[in-house]
Structure 1
Amino acid sequence: MDSPVPPPTFEPRPRRRDRHGRGMRGPLAPPQVPLSASRGEIFRDLVQDSVERLERRWPQLAEVDFVVLDVPAVAEDTVPLGGSVSAGKGRPAQIVVYRRPVELRTKSRDERALLVHEVVVEQVAELLGLSPESVDPRYGQD
C-alpha cells in the first residue's frame, strides 16, 4: 500500500538577482560623498561657511547662535529671508536664516551661497547696529 507522500518542503532561497537577471544594486553613493547630504545639511554648511568668514573679523559672533529654519513661523506680507533676536536674560543673541525662501530665490549652488552670505551679513549688521558694508567690506560686490 502506498503511503501518502508528504509534499516536498520548499524553502525559498534568498534572491541574489532581480527578475531581469541583474545582481543586487548597491547604494547610490557612499556616506562620505557629498551626494548623500540632504538639502538641509548642504544649506546649513553654506550658513556655517558664511559665519566662519565673518568670525575671523568679528570674534564676538562666537557667542551668537546661528539657526536654520525651513520657513518663517508667522505669515507676513513679505517673506523674510532671515531674522535676528538680541540677547536676553540667560539666552544668547540669535540669527535665523530661512532655508526655503532662500532656495526659491536662487537657481544654483553659487547663487545660493552668495544670497546666504548676504542674509547673514545683513542680520549680523542689524544685530551689531552697523551697516552691512562695515560688517563685510565685500558686501554687495558679488
Structure 2
Amino acid sequence: MSVRLYVGNLPEELTRQELEAIFAEEGDSVSTKIITDRKTNKCRGFGFVTVKNEEQADAIIEKFNGYALKDASLKVERAQPRSKDKGADEAPITASSAPSNSKGRKGNNNKSKGRSSGGSSDLDSVQPDPRWAQELEKLKQLLAAQASNS
C-alpha cells in the first residue's frame, strides 16, 4: 500500500527535478509532485511524495521534516485524504495548513466551514450562503413544525 506525504514550505523557484534529487537516495519507489500555479508555473509552496509503505513513510518524515532547503525548513507529514469536491491539483487540508480565519480572503472556496474542531458542533455559528438564507430558514421552520407534530 502506498503512502502519500505532504511536503510544505517549498521555495517558489523549486523544480520537480530538484525535489526528486532530494528524495533520490530513498530509492526508485519514491515519486514526487510539486503543485504549481497555473498562470506563473511556479511552485505554490507545497508538493507530495509517494512512497511504498508505512515504514518508508515514517523514515522519510523523520529524516526530512525540518530539512533545510534554500533557506526554508521543509514540513513533511502524512497527507490527508483528498476530498471528492476538490480539483486534482488542490492540496488536502492538513492540521497545520488549514486557515484559522477565512474571512476577507477573496475567492476562498473552503468546504470545511461547517466542520467543527470540537466534539460537538454549533450550527448556529455557521453562516449560510446569503443567496440561500431565506430558503434555508423556511426549511428550518418546516422541520421544527414537523418535529413538534411528531
Q: Same fold (TM over 0.5)?
A: no
TM-score range with shorter-chain normalisation? under 0.3
Q: Which has the higher contact order (CA 8 A, sep 6+)?
A: 2
Bigger fraction of residues in strand: 2
Larger radius of gyration between Structure 1 and Structure 2 = 1
